[in-house]
Structures are given as structure tokens and as C-alpha cells.
Amino acid sequence: MTTRRSFLKTTSVLSAGLMIAPSAFKPKAPLIGLQLYTVRDAMAKDPKATLARVAQIGYNSVEGATYTGTEKFYGMSPKEFKNVLKQNGQVMYSSHYMLGEQENNGKPIKGTILHDWNKAVDDAAEVGLKYMVCAYLMDSERGDLDHYKKVVEDLNKAGERCKKSGIQLCYHNHNFEFVKQGDTYPYDILMSADKNLVKMEMDIYWVTKAGMDPLQLFKKYPGRFPLWHVKDMDKTAAKDFTEVGNGIINFKEIFKHKNEAGMKYFYVEQDKTPGDPFVSIKESIDYIKKNLV
């Protein structure tokens, strides 16, 4: 199974499959999204067939995760990838990107916030993205609070470029941002970014795992969370990932505060599944349709 760290540091050579579906179909409300990292192994083997299967399960919205390094969307040009989505009645309004401080064998990694960002934004606009998301800070990209302030400068600059193309930049959290340095959470430093240029994709699982309350963050930073990762936490001591509705996170209560948060789109993500990830994402969407939308 591919780990998030290896997935974000490497790229795959993607095969192409054939799929026939109506090309004129547009997704109907509500949009229920899937972060494609959840089915990353299948996407690496056959992205077209995988997207078709995801659509059959009921996800009419997806969030991408492979542009960094490849400068392709799952091995496809923006035009080709957009056409595949359209054939499935899907949209992709958000996709993940890396910061780009960390190099690969001493060379900059393209398709990152710090390297070849203009092309990344142009390609994102061609696909129809509304949000470009800084997915993760590698260990070497974190550092002390002064370094986080430098990251904020980089995010503001990248957000300005996004804005010129009608795209909103966001930052996706894990739990390391909530480890205090002195009396300050790095997350609060990140939130000092220009609120018009940099918003947040809240990963509700990681916020909870860090011992924080999503509702309190909504209250503290109203309107800053247009994107959510809907990811549940199991009831074991390990507090691991589980299907939405199977765990301890009170999504019914959290969804009551979506307007305060400023939520526009959400994406199911399950970093690890106990078996077939397609079984897990079906279980999650069934719960969401019955209880949350």
C-alpha cells in the first residue's frame, strides 16, 4: 500500500483505459466529493476505469493529488483529464500541490508552489479548478515559527497568482500544525496569511487527532474553511482512520456549522482502509447521503 509520504514524494507512470459514458452529463446537487488519494493504487494502474467506478458508486466530485512532479493530472493533459471527468458526470474543483522547498536529488520539483507555479495555475484553470491546495509540509519544510512565517509569505504570493486566474489557494492541515512552539500553534501562524488570498481545507480527522475542536476553529476563524476533508476516527486506542459514520467524530453536529465555517465543498478521504477501498468509500457515501446531505 502506498503511504502518503511516498505518494507525495514520487510519481507514477499511469496507464490509460477506455470508458464510454455520456459526455454531456453534468453532476447534480448535492456534490459529494472523494479525495482520489483514497483510491491511489487503483488510480495509478488505470485512472480512467477508476474514475468510472468512483462515479458509479456515487461520487460526482473528486479532488486530485498528482500534479506535483508530473505536471499532469493522473498522466493526462488538462484537456484530456477534464474530458474524462465530463464523461463520468464528474467535476474536479480542487486539487493538491506541494510547497516545493524540498528538492528531489538536488533539483527543484516542478508543479509546486515554489517552482513552475504559473504553469500549475494555468493548467488548473483549464481543468476548471476553483481551489488549489497546499497539501502537506514535509519535515524539512516546517521548522520554527519564523520559518512558518516564511511559508505564509510564500502562500500569500502563490495566492495572489491564483486569484488572477479566479482560483482560491487553500492550506490542508494535518496534526503537526497543532504542536505548540512556546505559546503559539504553527496553525495560528499559517492563519495569519491574508484571509482573501489563503483559506483552509480543514481535515476534520487530523484536527480531532490533535485534540482540537473543529467548531472552536470555525468560531475563531469564521468563513476561512471553504473545503473540508470528511474523514472519521475509529473507536480504538490507536484512533485510526475509518469509514464516515463508523467512528467517534460527530459529523452531524459539525455539518450544522457549515455556513459559519464557509464550507463550499467536502471530500471523503480515508488514508488507509481495512480492505478494498471501494468498499470503504461506498460505506462512507451511504452514510453521508442518509445523514449529512
Domains of the chain, first to last: 4-291 (3.20.20.150)
What gap in Å lies between CA 122 and CA 110, rounded to an integer? 14
* Whole-number pLDDT of residue 14: 30
Confidence of residue 19 (pLDDT cuts 50, 70, 90): very low
Confidence of residue 168 (pLDDT cuts 50, 70, 90): very high
Confidence of residue 17 (pLDDT cuts 50, 70, 90): very low
Comparison of pLDDT for 11 and 231, the residue scoring more: 231
Picking from 23-37, 102-116, 222-236, which range would have the lowest pLDDT averaged per residue?
Answer: 23-37
Reported as a single tens digit per residue, the pLDDT across 90-132 is 999 999 999 999 999 999 999 999 999 999 999 999 999 999 9
* Whole-number pLDDT of residue 6: 52
What gap in Å lies between CA 109 and CA 103, rounded to an integer? 6
- Mean local confidence (pLDDT), 141-168: 98
Reported as a single tens digit per residue, the pLDDT across 182-209 is 999 999 999 999 999 999 999 999 999 9
Question: Phi then psi for 215, rounded to 5 degrees?
Answer: -65, -35
* Whole-number pLDDT of residue 24: 40
Instruction: Check whether 15 has a pLDDT greater than 90.
Output: no
Which cell numbers in the block locate residue 290? 442518509
Nearest to 157 by CA among 188, 194, 125, 103: 194
Which percentage of the chain shows pLDDT scores above 70? Answer: 91
Question: Phi then psi for 138, rounded to 5 degrees?
Answer: -65, 165
Per the DSSP assignment, residues forming a β-bridge with 230 are 268
* Whole-number pLDDT of residue 9: 46
Which cell numbers in the block locate residue 200? 483552509
* Whole-number pLDDT of residue 27: 75
Picking from 22-31, 129-138, 172-181, which range would have the lowest pLDDT averaged per residue?
Answer: 22-31
CB count in 10 Å sphere of residue 259: 10
Instruction: Check if the beta carbon of residue 262 is closer than 8 Å to that of residue 222.
Output: yes
Provide the Cα torsion 14, 16, 21, 23; round to 10°.
Answer: 80
Tell me whether residue 3 is exposed, middle or buried, using C-beta atoms within 10 angstroms of its C-beta: 0 to 12, 13 to 18, 19 or more.
exposed
* Whole-number pLDDT of residue 26: 61
pTM of the predicted model, to two decimals? Answer: 0.91
CA 209 to chain centre: 18
How is residue 131 annotated by DSSP?
Answer: E
What gap in Å lies between CA 282 and CA 287, rounded to an integer? 9
Per the DSSP assignment, residues forming a β-bridge with 115 are 112
Reported as a single tens digit per residue, the pLDDT across 277-288 is 999 999 999 999
